[in-house]
Amino acid sequence: MTVDIDIVGVLCEMPHIFTNAENVDMICVYDFCDGSATVAVEKYRRQFPMRRIPDRRVFYKAFNTLRECGMLPNAHVTPELALKQDMEEQENFLDMVQRSPTASTRILAARIGVSRTRVW
């Protein structure tokens, strides 16, 4: 298995990023445990044994961020990561066009694994 060094770097820069599904599960478990973060950690550990187990403060933060801001934690990180991925995608596309200037957008899109409208 090969790992892209750039992706590893991004993951290392953001060690406390949880997916939306993980955040929702934490909020549900926290609420189920009547707001006891310590109990929620243990319940989460038993319910999701294959996941990384967040600190009790993460449960509190996820719950309060949703309640006070109406969004899940780390929602502001997604556009930054998407922007970086878009820039990398554009660079890959431009490199491919320089190597094969006569290739169709359909072929180029298939090579980098995106829809044809993204490279148009």
- Count CB-CB contacts under 10 A for residue 27: 20
- Is residue 12 a part of any domain in this protein? no
3-class SS at 52? Answer: coil
DSSP H or E stretch at residue 109: helix 105-112
Range(s) of the domain holding residue 115: 77-119
Compute the distance between CA of residue 23 and CA of residue 3 in angstroms, rounded to an integer. 26
Q: Are 109 and 119 in contact (CB under 8 A)?
A: yes
List, for residues 30-77, the tens digit of each pLDDT value: 999 999 999 999 999 999 999 889 999 999 999 998 888 888 887 655
Q: Is 23 in the same domain as 63?
A: yes
pLDDT of res. 116: 75
In one-letter notation, the amino acid at residue 10 is V
List, for residues 72-98, the tens digit of each pLDDT value: 887 655 565 566 667 777 887 888 888
Count how many domains the chain has: 2
pLDDT of res. 36: 94
Q: Is 38 in the same domain as 57?
A: yes
Q: Is 23 in the same domain as 52?
A: yes
pLDDT of res. 78: 55
- Is residue 87 a part of any domain in this protein? yes
Q: Is 62 in the same domain as 29?
A: yes
